[in-house]
Structure formats: C-alpha cells, structure tokens
Amino acid sequence: MQLVIKVLLTFLRFLPADKLIFGKGVIAGITKTVSKFPNLPVTLVALQALSDALDAAITGALTGSDTAESALVTAIKNWNAGFKSTANYVNLIANGDKSIIVGAGFTASKEDSSSAVLPAVLLLFKLITSTIKGWFGASVKPFVGKGSKAYVFIAYPAEVTVTQSTGLLTITQAGISTYIKIGTEHLVYYENMPKTEFNVVAFGVNSVGMGPMTTPAPITPQ
C-alpha cells in the first residue's frame, strides 16, 4: 500500500539533549534549502533561540531546584511547539517529496505501509514438562504479521505479580516493583515513575538470542 510521505514527529519524544542535536540538524538543513521555505512559521533565529533556551534550562536543571526543573519543562514545551510548527510547514511544502523533508533535517515516513498491528493474545500456549531436574518449556503458536517480532516468556513464583499496561511490564514482590520495557526501538521513555532510585540496564535480542546486559546505571526520577 502506497502512502503519502510525511514528516515524522518522533522528535517530540526525544530526551532534551537529543532534541538539541536534532534541532541543530533542522536549522542547518533549512538554512541550506531556505529558498524552498519562504514563509517559515518560526524563523531560523527563533528556532535557534528555542534551542539555546533549552540548552540553558538543561544545565540549570542540574542544580535540582524546583524553579530550574520548572524552567526545563517550559523550555521543552516551547521547543516542541516551535519545531512541531516548523515540521508541519515543511510537510506542507514537501507535499510528499522525501528529498525536501530530509533536506530540511527532518525524518520522513516510509513510502509503503507495513500494516503492522499489535499481536493478539497468543494462541496454543502450552507448557512442556520434563523429568530433567529444573527444566521445563513453554510454547505458543507463531503469530503472523509484518515488522519485527519477538516472543517474551516470563516464569514467576506465586508470590510475585506480573501486570501489563501499554508498553510496560511491572513485576512486583513484597511491594517492590521492577519495570520492564520491551520493543524494537533503541530508545525508550518511562513515565509516571515513583521517586525512588532505580538501576537501569538494557540488552539486545535477535534471532540468535539475548546479548549481554549493560552495566547498571542508577537514576532517581523527579
């Protein structure tokens, strides 16, 4: 199925530091192709000012003060608004031309629909017992669909609870929860997390298996 190529707005979910890198690319791209964009809704000078303000707010937030953190939230909101408005304008001018979108520093959508949808509840789920000490298996019917695929199996004791919400697995025991993100993108975001210190790790998965975990990194959400 052919689709009209558009500007992707995934940059709105980038971390603040990544927004700065992306914004730099957009400003540079539009500067080089500025003749194609005679009526920018936000001038290049204003876009640079938004990035400068965000950069300063990121540095300020390192102090941990409530005022500085509030300023960072405002700077992110303003940056998102300015670059989203610019993206929509570039989208209008490009009218499906991928070269114009990419030339302006934005990311273009795919030309063909992947028709990928969330998998339904997996069918034919069964456990495989064995006389071998400490061994059992589990299987499901392979699901059909386009895009990357992965299967996740979890074995947990009766006193542990496992719950699932959109894009997040929560494993809880004795009131302490572990939060697991599973996906096909190299970048994830956690939202509405409790203010407690977490250790975060990541590892890759492919057809061969699971790769090694990263060294745990501590973080305490605000």
Where b means 16+ CB within 10 Å and e means fewer, 76-85 reads beebbebbbe
pLDDT over 70 percentage in the chain: 93
Residues with Cβ within 8 Å of 5's Cβ and at least 6 positions away in sequence, in order, are 94, 96, 97, 98, 101, 108, 109, 110, 111
CB 59 within 8 A of CB 21: no
pLDDT digits (tens, 9 = 90+) for 48-66: 999 999 999 999 988 888 8
What tokens were used for 221?
A: 């959400």
Determine if the pTM surpasses 0.85: no
pLDDT value at residue 30:
96
In this structure, are strands 205-206 and 198-200 parallel, antiparallel, or unpaired?
unpaired
Q: What is the pLDDT of residues 89-100, one digit of tens each?
A: 999 999 999 999
Domains of the chain, residue spans: 10-103
Q: What is the pLDDT of residue 89?
A: 97
